Structure formats: C-alpha cells, structure tokens
Amino acid sequence: MSAHSVIDPELGALTWNEELEFWEGSIRLSSSDAFELCVFARARLVADRAISADARRAIARIRTAEDECRSFACKELLEIHNDEWSEGSVIDAGEFMRRLEPESVEVHESGYSEIHFGDGGLFWGHSVGVRIRPDGSFQEAAVEG
C-alpha cells in the first residue's frame, strides 16, 4: 500500500484523504451492505497513531448500533415522513426502518459520530442522518441534503 494507505488492525484498509483530512475505508455493521467509513484526524500519521482513542471508542459502539440508529431515526422522522413526505401513502415503523439503506459513517476525533442512510425513497432522495454524541447518546436524526 502507498504511504497514504494503511492496514489498521481494527479498521482494515484505510486511505488518507488529504483534502478533507480523514481516513477513508468501509465498515460492516448489521446490514449485509457495508457503510463508507470516514474517520477525521489531524494528521495522516500511521492510522493507529492518528485516530484518537475517543474516535476508536465511538467506532466500537457503532459496530453494534445500526438497529438502534434505525429505531431512533424512525422515532424522530416517521411522523414527519407520513405527514409531509408520503403523498398520502402512510407507512408503519417497520417499513420505515427497512427502507433505510447503508450509506456512510463519520467519526470525529472527539468521539462525535454520524451514521448516514440512503432514504429508500422516504424523503425524495434526501439522506437520513443520525448524530451521536461522544458519550454514545443520540443527539438528533435529520433529513439531509
């Protein structure tokens, strides 16, 4: 691998994005499809030294949190979908959660993180983002873009 790519023992293959200052890779959660992984860092040193301990703890939490994130997004956004975006085709919680598609995970040095889902047509092509505080508690879910 080049000087800008590494194999991290926990995260696998990562490539440094110089312009955006983050490590890029992929991560599998509970879905069959992988999420793009972006881990922000202040330096492109070897990833195991550049990725903060707080970011690594957040990634460890996220590995088992996809279903919780889907539930939280549903709790926050199902009513909005049914009232404002559904064009009269109301859905239930199960359908809402099933339609969310793996997109990306962003993790910041502080441990703050976001999981982004494709909307599966729920919000006319806008993504769904779930923001997670460094302590692991949910901050918000939002329609993005």
Picking from 83, 100, 102, 2, the residue whose alpha carbon sits closest to that of residue 46 is 2
pTM: 0.92
In this structure, which long-range contacts are made by residues 113-120, counting pairs with CB atoms below 8 Å and at least 24 apart in sequence? Answer: 113/58, 113/59, 113/62, 115/35, 115/62, 115/65, 115/66, 115/69, 116/35, 116/144, 117/69, 117/70, 117/73, 119/143
24-74 residue pLDDT tens = 999 999 999 999 999 998 765 555 567 889 999 999 999 999 999 999 999
